[in-house]
Amino acid sequence: MLNMFSRSESAVPAPQAAAKALIRLVREQPAAAAPANPKQAPARAATRTPSVGQYIYHLQHDLKSYVRAETVNAVIGATPGEIQRVARIVAKLKGRYLATLMDLGNVHKGPVGDSEVRELRRAREMYEEVELGLTRLREAIEAGDLELDGVKND
């Protein structure tokens, strides 16, 4: 979509064709139509220039198209079973994180040291990262960017 806002990069026309186009343009525009202020942009250019809102709208549309195309090329044959396995991994990592956290409160342990905090941080980061990935998978499925084999679209 954004290509409608970019200048075409076609080959330069032959000198004769360019000269004929220039002559035709001069004949079609009367001298009185020239802007009094040379700093003023011609009306034609203003009508072709998109507003910021139009540009953002088309950029968002193109981004969705790019994401969908790249996802289709990168993910081959996603199944509900695979998504379920990712969900189980999230649950296991969350359980490990909570168990590690609870171990810090064990009365038979001494003071909390750097190694325990590093282990807790690693468990939390692993859990949060995979959970975020599962959230992104769900969003991609809802947006239609990721199709699941064996599941009908709504």
The pLDDT tens digits for 28-42 are 555 445 555 555 555
Cα 36 from chain centroid (whole Å):
45
Has residue 149 been placed in a domain? no
Has residue 41 been placed in a domain? yes
pTM summary value: 0.61
Residue 68 has pLDDT above 60, yes or no: yes
Residue 53 has pLDDT above 90, yes or no: yes
Long-range CB contacts for residues 46-55, cutoff 8 Å, separation at least 24: 50/5, 55/2, 55/5
**Quick one: pLDDT band at residue 89, thresholds 50, 70, 90?**
very high
Has residue 88 been placed in a domain? yes
Last residue of a domain, one of 42, 65, 88: 65
Give yes or no: residues 12 and 53 share one domain. yes
Has residue 70 been placed in a domain? no
Has residue 48 been placed in a domain? yes
Task: Give 6's DSSP letter.
Answer: S
Pairwise CA distance, residues 84 & 135, whole Å: 12
Give yes or no: residues 84 and 113 share one domain. yes
Task: Give 34's DSSP letter.
Answer: S
Has residue 55 been placed in a domain? yes
Has residue 148 been placed in a domain? no
pLDDT greater at residue 86 or residue 2? 86
Whole-number pLDDT of residue 5: 52
Give yes or no: residues 60 and 93 share one domain. no
Residue 111 has pLDDT above 60, yes or no: yes
Give yes or no: residues 138 and 85 share one domain. yes
Give yes or no: residues 99 and 127 share one domain. yes
Whole-number pLDDT of residue 14: 44
**Quick one: pLDDT band at residue 151, thresholds 50, 70, 90?**
confident
Give yes or no: residues 14 and 48 share one domain. yes
Give yes or no: residues 85 and 28 share one domain. no
Number of domains in the chain: 2
Give yes or no: residues 47 and 83 share one domain. no
Whole-number pLDDT of residue 15: 46
Last residue of a domain, one of 65, 98, 116: 65
Has residue 154 been placed in a domain? no
Structural domain span for residue 83? 78-143
82-86, 133-137, 138-142, 149-153: range with lowest mean pLDDT? 149-153
**Quick one: pLDDT band at residue 13, thresholds 50, 70, 90?**
very low
